[in-house]
Amino acid sequence: MGTQLTPRFVLIGAVIVMAIYMLSPTIEYYFFPPDDEEAKEALQEKALKLGLDLQGGMHVVMEVNIPKLVENIASNKTLLYDALAAAETRAENDDIEYLDALLLEANERNIRLARHFIDYGIENSEIISALEDEADDAVNRALEVIRNRVDQFGVSEPTILKQGSNRIIVELAGVQDPERARNLIRQTALLEFSLLKEPDVVQAVITRIDNVLKSIRTGIDLDSLVTLTKSTTDATDTTVTTLAESKDKSISVDEIFGVTTNESFSTESGGSVVVDEQIFDERPFSALLRNIGGDIGVPAENVKAVRRILALEEVKAALPADMKIIWSNNKRDFGGRGLPSETYNVLYAVNREPGLTGDVVTSASANFGGGASSASGQPVVYLNMNSEGARAWSRLTGANINKRVAIILDDKVHSAPVIRSKIPSGNTVIEGMNSINEAKDLSIILRAGALPAPMEVIEERTIGPTLGRDSIEKGTNAALIGFALVMI
């Protein structure tokens, strides 16, 4: 009897020894990890990869922003913005597809889409059909870009899948910093280089916005206010006040509009803003702003109110078609003439059409700024361009010496340096990073390429490892009990 059982025990023992040998890297990695990082990484390569359900992580469902994709594709955009905006509103109100709404708007407005979408067809219906194919291709390209970014980020065994026609599912197991991973996968990385508008043009626009707000506050017809303002402009200094000149007071947000509006304009600071009381009655928008070293600063208390004002349809109509107003990526601390330093967000008025885009970037690397640069010791990203980009950059900088160019990423200004001389090399630097990790992530994103359109997060879940730990413990106990029963 014992002789007959011997081969069975030998076979069981061999299987157990083989299983222990195969599982030893996994057991060591998850239960007894080495302190040395290189040894730990080598061990991770041999260990079994636990899925999202076992080690936790994040699950994100994203959707391609089709309206923004269409806007990015279009040429001669300034003549098309009204139709694009109306199509977006119509699609939402009528619950139809955006491209169907755009076709209706174009036909009703007698717009020939062929003027704006060259090589996409002749008839409007033909162009819309081509744009539908472009949207489908954009999802596939976004899928590839996200894969490239995640691969460089170093997440093991990611799941990246297409869902339906314009959605993408991303599952990242074992992610330690969900916020950083979220920014990495969803950031469009639309890099643009746009010239800043001249100060007199910007001041004229601020005056128009002042008139819009004043009209709302007083009920006086806007055309009448424009006439009054025009007659008094020559006798009055209309520049945004400096820190030392302003006499601040706190008022209710409702006072900006004269009456309580149906929509709440309350800010995070309890419904109050800080204005310069010397100019508030005549220039209510200017009273919310400060001149900080030649830039337009917005005190932290006023940011939300200014955002709401810039979103008003009357204010949008007051902006020139070739201008857009965007925010800085980071806040700035600024003080003047002995005054304490305060924190400001910065507004920039730039050309709507960029002089150059990130398509020409061939390489990007993160490092710390050199001693001779304005960002000495600060994290930056160095960019190199292809020959086409180098020529365009050379023309742009050569024709605009002593003017400022904004380096814009996803509609946020990272820096706006003065062009001191022509730059023929095609090299430049992006400043304004908060940390070296942010600079590294940005370099990853730029190397992997920009998403063809912004991605909207439809669903997001962060899954903790508790459930996985319980499952592993129960599985281990079950295996031990099963092994004991087999031996018996």
CATH code at 424? Answer: 3.30.1360.200
- Specify the DSSP class assigned to residue 196: B
Q: Does 392 map to a domain?
A: yes
Q: Is residue 381 part of a domain?
A: yes
Q: pTM of the prediction? A: 0.67
pLDDT of residue 235: 43
Of the candidates 317, 351, 385, which is a domain's last residue? 351
Q: Which domain holds residue 35?
A: 1-48
Residue 346 within any structural domain of the chain: yes
Which H helix or E strand runs over 238?
A: none
What are the beta bridge partners of residue 326?
348
pLDDT for 171:
86
Amino acid 52: pLDDT: 60
Using an 8 Å Cβ cutoff, are 448 and 436 in contact? no
Q: Which is more confident, 265 or 316?
A: 316
Q: Tell whether 41 and 62 lie within a shared domain.
A: no
The answer as to whether 469 is a domain residue is no
Weakest mean pLDDT among 27-31, 60-64, 246-250, 343-347: 27-31
pLDDT tens, position by position, 442-456: 888 888 777 877 888
**Mean of pLDDT values over 14-18:** 80
* Calpha distance 120→118 (Å, rounded): 5
Does residue 473 form part of some domain?
no
Highest mean pLDDT among 24-38, 397-411, 444-458, 469-483: 397-411
Q: What's at 105, amino acid-wise?
A: E
Task: Tell me the DSSP string of 140-164.
Answer: HHHHHHHHHHHHHHT-SS-EEEEET
Q: Of the candidates 318, 317, 61, 251, which has an alpha carbon nearest to the alpha carbon of residue 170?
A: 61
**Which residues, other chains included, contact 177 with Cβ-Cβ below 8 Å and sequence gap of 6+?**
none
Are 176 and 210 in a shared domain? no
Please give the Cα distance from 147 to 358 (Å, whole number): 19
Residues with Cβ within 8 Å of 378's Cβ and at least 6 positions away in sequence, in order, are 368, 369, 431, 433
pLDDT in tens, 31-52: 667 777 667 667 666 666 666 6
**Which of the listed ranges 101-105, 118-122, 435-439 does the model predict with the highest average pLDDT?**
101-105
Which stretches of 322-434 are DSSP H helices? 387-398
Among 220-229, 428-437, 453-462, the minimum mean pLDDT is found in 220-229
Over residues 316-321, mean pLDDT: 90
Asked if the structure places residue 211 within a domain, the reply is yes
Q: Residue 17: is its pLDDT beyond 90?
A: no
With a cut of 60, say whether residue 130 has pLDDT above it.
Answer: yes
Tokens 């219906």 sit at which residue?
125
Q: What average pLDDT does this structure show over 391-418?
A: 91
56 residue type, one letter: G
Residue 302 placed within a domain: yes
Contact 12, 486 (CB under 8 A): yes
Query: How do beta strands 323-328 and 412-415 pair?
Result: parallel
Task: Report the pLDDT value the prediction gives residue 11, as an integer from 0 to 100.
Answer: 80
- Domain match, 385 and 431 both: yes
Phi, psi of 190 (to 5 degrees): -85, 100
In a domain, 70, yes or no: yes
- Judgement on whether residues 244 and 175 belong to the same structural domain of the protein: no
* In contact, 454 and 188? CB cutoff 8 Å: yes
Tokens of 415: 């820096």
Q: How many domains does the chain have?
A: 4
